[in-house]
Structure 1
Amino acid sequence: MTPMEQSNCQTDNGNVLDELLKASRILADDTYQVPPQIMWVDNSTIATLGNFSASTGKAKSRKTFNVSAIVAASLGNKQVLKYRACLPEGKRKILYIDTEQSRYHCHVVMQRILRLAGVPQDVNTANLVFYGLREYHPTMRLQLIEHALQKETGCGLVVIDGIRDLMLDINDPSESVSIINKLMQWSSIYNLHIHCVLHLNKSDDNVRGHIGTELNNKAETVLVIAKSQTLANASEVKPLSLRDREFEPFAFKIDEEGMPVDIYDYEFGKKDGKASKMTIGDITEEQHEKALEVAFQDKVVSGYEHMLTALSKGYGEIGFARGRTTLSKLLTYLLTNKKVVKLASNEYCLPKNYPSLPLIDEDT
């Protein structure tokens, strides 16, 4: 290249850089819209357009079940588990990328999402586009995702399950930075939210590899899904990092039909290596109502011992299975707080069911 050609090339490059800087400058008199919020847990925002998030967990922690609930909530613009979603008009399409499962298992996941969303399972919906990229090289997977984003207009949510398969070396810093830059670029250019799935280390609770470190530093939200140590077939969901205020952890289980469902009375935390027990004071009003409905079944319960048996059955349904001494204390609490009333005939009932019967003012 001649000196003249080098000079012209530098000038052209300088002009390009000037244009990029001009487009990137933030001015005091500019106005910007708050990124649209599209998903919440309770009152905590966990996803906005133009950002990305992640679900992490060890093998068999049911990460994909958790992601299925996220996608179903977004597809139906409804609440599934604790996830409440609302994708705006023009951004209702969801792109789901699976990098490791067979086509059969991808189809199982898609069917689960459709069922959770309340959408017919035997009819293709334009708002859920599902790709299985298991057989491709990481470089080709990246190219295919980028092409899908260009092709599938109107996407509000993109799921990449799992992001580790977009790279050759999970601990390579340059590869990790490149992948994270892609997520930032895609979410910004296409004004959508990207949710990724990545494993935790087997030996500890750290997100795997250098890519995990980068995700943790740059993501809007990082969720941790862990198998319950106290309840079979259950998983816990906790916030690892969150730009908004943290939500209270919750738990779900897989029901007989293979669907994730809430566990409202789940006990979190451990003491001395054992799960901490729920106390009477920990029971919510909703749980009391549920337990007492099971205990009474709109009937009168005759006798003290029968009442304890009924309470054992009812409160066992909400996870408060206790012995006779605690159940006696529970009955005293229920009578004192007028949740249960005692009739003159040594019978017990719910106030709403028998408001006009004569009562006896006793504690037990």
Structure 2
Amino acid sequence: MILKPLSLDISLPSQDNQNDIEFDITECLVDPNEEVPEPTPIIAFEHNGYTVPIFTENNKSLIKGQAKSRKSTLIKAIGATIVSKGYYNEGGKLKSYYHRNELSIIDTEQGKYHCYKAVKMIQRLSGESINYYRVAGKTIPQKKYLVEQHLKTHPNCGVMVIDNIVHFLLDFNSATESRELESWIDYLVETYNCHIILVLHENGSDSGLGKAKGHLGSLLENTCETTIRVRKDPDNKGQSIVSGALTRNGDFEDFIISMDYQGVPYISVPSDGKPMHKTIKI
């Protein structure tokens, strides 16, 4: 798809325009007598007979970690799980229950070759294709335009990954910019019923105590359904530890994400022993 220069105003309503502010406030009332079903788990962690939802419908979540901590490897595993409608071959601890399993990934950082490798890996693991956009070099309005145009034209897109959300604003320490960006994300979730997984770096060193980057990171940690932390295993550089840093649906056990020399992601739990690194031809 070739994107034309930004021509649509997709900004949120002006807070200074009274006509934009007025609405029927009963829309926001929560009726205690209404039967509201539990949201469908998009992905759940399964181990020792327990199932813990990680991402659920009509929410947003955060994946954080330092640079090169294998966040992208986890995204491949999550993506393959979602489009597989269950498990992918090497990801037996994660399971998708979601029927709207059309997935899109917005990549703001990687070059064309590494984007190709990522989308090809998800296809090989799951047998399904996804919509993978490389937006490095696009302006912030163009990136927002692409996101919303995709959601408008793909109503079955139930999950979108934005990697890295920091590139959707100019100053990640700006309280105003961060709030406006979060409001836009919430608008997308509500309007298109799409779970949005946001990826963000942690502060640059161990002294950052695992905090997501800037004011934006603090805001998202407070409001996301689930915040997942990915960090390299200090005792084994060949693998990373995935933790539920902040969870709304209950805690899940830490698990290991690793990959073989061809980039195949493997998931295991420490008590199960080390994963077997089989190979797959890419």
Q: Residues of 1 paired with 2:150 and 2:171: CA distance?
A: 24
Alpha carbons 2:63, 2:200 under 8 Å: kept: yes
Shift in alpha-carbon separation, 1:96–1:232, aligned structure 2, 3 A: same
- Aligned partner of 1:165 in structure 2 is 167
Alpha carbons 2:40, 2:97 under 8 Å: kept: no
Q: 2:162 is aligned with what amino acid? A: I
Deviation string, structure 1 residues 147-172 (Cα, Å, up to 9, x no partner): 21111111111110110000000100
Query: Which of residues 85, 98, 112 is equivalent to 1:103?
Result: 112
Q: 1:222 is aligned with what amino acid? A: T
- Aligned partner of 2:102 in structure 1 is 93
Deviation string, structure 1 residues 127-148 (Cα, Å, up to 9, x no partner): x111111111122211221121
SS in 1 for 2:266: strand
Query: Which of residues 191, 208, 216 is equivalent to 1:211?
Result: 216
Q: 2:57 is aligned with what amino acid? A: L
Deviation string, structure 1 residues 237-260 (Cα, Å, up to 9, x no partner): 011100011111011221132211
Q: Residues of 2 paired with 1:171 and 1:182: CA distance?
A: 17
SS in 1 for 2:237: coil
- Aligned partner of 2:258 in structure 1 is 253
Q: Does 1:60 align with 2:68?
A: yes
Alpha carbons 1:139, 1:167 under 8 Å: kept: no
SS in 2 for 1:194: strand
- Aligned partner of 2:155 in structure 1 is 153
- Aligned partner of 1:117 in structure 2 is 126
| Structure 1 residue 117: Cα displacement | 1.5
Shift in alpha-carbon separation, 1:318–1:153, aligned structure 2, 3 A: closer
Structure (1 or 2) with the greater strand fraction: 2
Q: Which runs of 5+ in 2 are unaligned?
A: 1-16, 277-282
What is the TM-score when the length of structure 1 is the normalising length?
0.64
Deviation string, structure 1 residues 6-55 (Cα, Å, up to 9, x no partner): xxxxxx957972x4313223334434332222110121111111001111
Size of the aligned set, in residue pairs, is 250
| Structure 1 residue 116: Cα displacement | 1.9
Alpha carbons 1:228, 1:235 under 8 Å: kept: yes
Q: 2:98 is aligned with what amino acid? A: L
| Structure 1 residue 83: Cα displacement | 1.9
Q: Residues of 1 paired with 2:105 and 2:78: CA distance?
A: 11
Structure (1 or 2) with the greater helix fraction: 1
Q: Residues of 2 paired with 1:95 and 1:118: CA distance?
A: 15
Q: Does 1:35 align with 2:44?
A: no
Deviation string, structure 1 residues 105-134 (Cα, Å, up to 9, x no partner): 111110111122144xxxxx3xx1111111
Q: 2:79 is aligned with what amino acid? A: V
Q: Residues of 1 paired with 2:177 and 2:21: CA distance?
A: 26
Q: Which runs of 5+ in 1 are unaligned?
A: 1-11, 120-124, 267-283, 288-316, 320-364
Q: Residues of 2 paired with 1:222 and 1:44: CA distance?
A: 14
- Find the structure with the greater CA-based Rg: 1
Shift in alpha-carbon separation, 1:176–1:79, aligned structure 2, 3 A: same
| Structure 1 residue 79: Cα displacement | 2.2
- Aligned partner of 2:10 in structure 1 is none
Q: Does 1:25 align with 2:29?
A: yes
**Of the two structures, which has the highest relative contact order with CA contacts closer than 8 Å and spacing of 6 or more?**
2
Cα RMSD for the two superposed structures: 2.3
- Aligned partner of 1:49 in structure 2 is 57
Alpha carbons 2:266, 2:275 under 8 Å: kept: no
